[in-house]
Amino acid sequence: MIESTYIWCFALCALAAWRVAHLLARENGPWDLIGRLRASLGSSLLGRLMDCFYCLSFLVSLPPAIWMSSTPKGFLIQWMALSAGACLVERATQRPQDAFRVIPVSKSFLDKVIHGV
């Protein structure tokens, strides 16, 4: 049976992973430090990584998974579960318009001709 202290530890680690990943991906941070870092990285690999919450949650979940695990198999399962917990919290806290944002696609030449746009 799972101890209640382990459940609390897992929940707190998942929330901490969400908080750090959310800070890095969605916020500018204190004194705009994170925003400036994100801007300086631009469209490089690290810059694109800083824009992807799900990628960051995967990486940010690594240290708590190492701390919590006692076996290699348990480490992999806890790493994935902590990242999944952070992703679930992110989905639960998103506003509806952010969760289902549609990016407009430019109209084709034929649509412009037919509709006179």
Residue 44 has pLDDT above 80, yes or no: yes
pLDDT at position 100: 56
Q: Which of 24, 19, 58 is nearest to 41 (CA)?
A: 24
> Tens of pLDDT along 56-108?
999 999 999 999 998 989 899 999 999 999 999 999 998 776 555 555 555 56
The predicted pLDDT at position 84 comes to: 96
Q: What is the pTM of this model?
A: 0.76
